[in-house]
Structure 1
Amino acid sequence: MAVQVEIWTDINCPFCYLGKRRFEEALEAFPHRDQVSVVHKSFELDPTLPRDHSDAVVPHIAEKYGISEAQAAANERGIGAQAEAMGLTYRIEGRDFGNSFDMHRLLHFALEQGRQEQLLDALYAANFAEDAPLFGDHDRLARVAVSAGFDEQAVRAVLADPEAYADAVRADEAEAAQLGARGVPFFVLDRKYGVSGAQPAEVFAQALQQAWSDHAPGLEIVADGDACGPDGCALPERN
């Protein structure tokens, strides 16, 4: 018996970075964590961007939400404070954003090898914790994958073929639409329970317990009569 958790994310998304850590906190404390399987699914925040696109985050946020760059920078500082409280490094200045399709293709490549988690963590660290730009640079992307323990030649072969794992990415995105996901992170447990956003660890813990309880329901007593227990036997009353 196992609980399956599917998590739709995008490397551009800071709340996916935070949400992953909060979910991991809940999972670590979950008594049946060894019977929970986790798979990460693809979701592009902006699939219309050119494949080689890279631009600064703060001006992009300001333009997208119709706010000033000062307000966008303040939002970044707020997210950075949340990350710091969880022990995560979050670079609030100088980050870039861009098309993440090739990253998602590599994550499917990593899933095939049973090492998806390692690559996702390396991509999050490269985007949110390190100084060098990440998007629109296959050399940088290959170095990140190699640092996570993947074979460079195999990684570059995936990146060189734009259709490698492309159908898997598109299938994930189609599933997200069918499930009603309008943003990420989006967590689905056993295709029955959904959790949207970087919720507190307590919310993830509750969702895990609910999914687990469905696998092991309590016994429904359909008839109750005379029986013996630790305290003795219930004797029938004499007339």
Structure 2
Amino acid sequence: MTTVEVWTDINCPFCYLGKARFEEALADFPHRDDVQVVHKSFELDPTLPPGSSGPVVPAIAAKYGITVDQAAANERGIGAQAAAMGLPYQTSGRDMGNSFDMHRLLHYALDQGKQEAMLDALYEGNFAEPEPVFGDTERLVALAVRAGLDENSVRAVLADPDAYADAVRRDEAEAAALGANGVPFFVFDGKYAVSGAQPPEMFTQALTTAWNDRPGPQLLADGDTCGPDGCAVPGSATAQ
């Protein structure tokens, strides 16, 4: 079994693209059924007030010291990358904000066996749909229900600011200890790291490297053997 830990934030468009590129590589990986993927929390801006929301383009312009037009062009460029992968992407009108509650819900969803569906719903809501996802509890509840979570339980988690808060902070502390200062950040079996929305080929290389470096003996040659069903007949696929 190979474990892939992925640190992401819902605010991050390259996390959206990186997930799709990693999944493309994983779909073609011959041992994909023996790969466990765990999504972990990373806030791009943990200083944002809870419940905060605002338009993306002006925020990008202010953060990087560029014009609003340049920031808008940057969004269109990311949208073009998404389109090349068949991913829908809203290049204008998106919002951004505090994502701590989203990360708490992702940990709750992990307990329910629905973390992947919850993350997909959040990405879809933020990048593919025009309605804002930050600072709107009802929208967040709707996305969680879409992912298959129980509405009353989701509301209970959101109403309790301590629910899964420690789990989010542990993930963030672990990311800091690993030296991750941006996302997406992929760690394969705790040994190999890939930063950014890399091409699928890079993820294939990382998966292969981690798989071949698993503890225990590695099979270097495969020949005729005897087993519970008998012994292989030379030159035949049958057993005797």
Structure 2 residue aligned with 1:172: 171
Structure 1 residue aligned with 2:47: 48
Structure 2 residue aligned with 1:209: 208
Structure 2 residue aligned with 1:80: 79
The number of residues matched between the two structures is 220
Pairs within 5 Å for 1:2-151: 2-151=1-150
**Cα deviations across residues 100-124 of structure 1 (Å, max 9, x unaligned)?**
0000000000000111000000000
The ranges of structure 1 where at least 4 consecutive aligned residues each deviate by more than 6 angstroms after the TM superposition are none
Moved more, 4-13 or 143-152: 143-152
Q: Secondary structure at the match of 1:119?
A: helix
**Cα deviations across residues 29-85 of structure 1 (Å, max 9, x unaligned)?**
000000000000000000000011000000000000000000000000000000001
Counterpart contact for 2:114–2:147, Cα < 8 Å: no
Backbone CA RMSD of aligned residues? 1.2
TM-score normalized by structure 2?
0.90
Structure 2 residue aligned with 1:194: 193
User: C-alpha displacement at 1:218, in angstroms?
Assistant: 5.6
Work out the CA distance in 2 between the residues paired with 1:107 and 1:130. 20
User: Which residues of structure 2 form unaligned runs of 5+?
Assistant: 221-233, 235-240
Identity %: 72
Structure 2 residue aligned with 1:234: none
Q: Secondary structure at the match of 1:6?
A: strand
Q: Secondary structure at the match of 1:188?
A: strand
Moved more, 12-21 or 139-148: 139-148
Work out the CA distance in 2 between the residues paired with 1:203 and 1:218. 24
Work out the CA distance in 1 between the residues paired with 2:179 and 2:33. 29
Q: Secondary structure at the match of 2:213?
A: helix
Q: 2:182 aligned with 1:183, yes or no?
A: yes
User: C-alpha displacement at 1:217, in angstroms?
Assistant: 3.5
Q: Secondary structure at the match of 2:25?
A: helix
User: C-alpha displacement at 1:137, in angstroms?
Assistant: 1.0
Structure 2 residue aligned with 1:156: 155
Work out the CA distance in 2 between the residues paired with 1:162 and 1:128. 26
Work out the CA distance in 1 between the residues paired with 2:211 and 2:69. 45
Work out the CA distance in 1 between the residues paired with 2:167 and 2:136. 22
Work out the CA distance in 1 between the residues paired with 2:23 and 2:142. 26
The structure with the larger Rg is 1
